[in-house]
Every structure is written in structure tokens, then in C-alpha cells.
Amino acid sequence: MKDSERMIVSAWTDGEVELPWSSLVSAKVEQNPEWSETARQHNRVKQLLVNDGEPDWTAAQSRVWDHLAAQNPVRPFVAHLPWSWISVAAAALLVVAAGGGYWFGRVSVVKTGPQMAELKVHVPQQLELKLSGDGQLIMASTLQGAGP
């Protein structure tokens, strides 16, 4: 059987040969045992590809995990520590966290409390004020000493 004939059988198996050529190939497959065997092999491969999909690896994965677990048993780190040490560490962390929370909370309350809001006052409308220059900061005692 020539390679070109195998290609024709493969195309016919995939339904890619149109009339009137498909009926000729069909007759040849029925009459010629070699063409018939080739067509059967192509159909088998086609069915495997369409139906079987990915194999089930669950059992193989399970075996690999069992093997690894037997060689390197995994134990939680905490299991190595006595309960008393774990309790002491938890208490110390609680104290540190509470202290930090108190410190930050205290700063936050003072900083954002009502007394830190921008204070607003209104000068009566009839009192006209105007900008005369740059701001000046002096000691009050100096001002009183320079008074009339």
C-alpha cells in the first residue's frame, strides 16, 4: 500500500473526502483487506482521541504521596514545643499587642479627638480688617513694655 493511498484512507476516515470520490474509496475499503485494515486502525486511533481524554491519575498520585510521606514524615513545628512554652509565648504576644494598641489608640484619640479639630471663630462683620504686611510673632511682655 502506497503512502498516498494511506493518506486517502485517513482522509476518508475523517470524512474529508467528498462525493463522488468517497463512494469509490468506500468500495475499495470493502473489497481490499489491506485498505480495510488501514481504515480500521485509523478509526481506532480516532475513537481513542475522541473518547478517552486524559487518563485518571488519582491512583498514581495517591501512591506517590504515600511514598513521600513514608520517607519524610511532616510534623507541625508547634508539636515540638511543650504546651507551657506555647502559653507563655501567646501571653507575651498578647501583652505586646495590647500595649501597642493602647499606645497607638491613645495617640489617635488625642490627635483626632474633638479638641484637635480646627477651631473656627468669626469676627463681627462691622470690624473691617486688612492685610498690612507679614505676620509678626513677639513676646507679650515686649508689647506691654512698648505701650503708651
Per CB under 8 A, contacts with another protein among 46-105 are 85, 89, 92-93, 96, 99-100, 103
Q: Pick the stretch among 12-20, 21-29, 39-47, 115-123 that binds another protein (CB under 8 A).
A: 115-123
C-beta neighbour count of 27 within 10 angstroms:
11
Q: Pick the stretch among 1-9, 29-37, 53-61, 136-144 that binds another protein (CB under 8 A).
A: 136-144
Smallest Cα–Cα separation from 116: which of 124, 127, 108, 105? 108
Q: Binders of another protein: how many residues, by CB under 8 A?
A: 40
Closest CB 146 distance from another protein, rounded Å: 11
Closest CB 81 distance from another protein, rounded Å: 9
As a three-state string, the secondary structure of 12-39 is: HHCCCCCCCHHHHHHHHHHHCHHHHHHH
Q: How far apart are CA 29 and CA 36, in angstroms?
A: 5
Q: How far apart are CA 13 and CA 4, in angstroms?
A: 14
Closest CB 130 distance from another protein, rounded Å: 7
Smallest Cα–Cα separation from 36: which of 13, 3, 4, 2? 13
What is the binding site for another protein (CB under 8 A)?
A: 85, 89, 92-93, 96, 99-100, 103, 107, 110-111, 115-116, 118-141, 143, 147-148
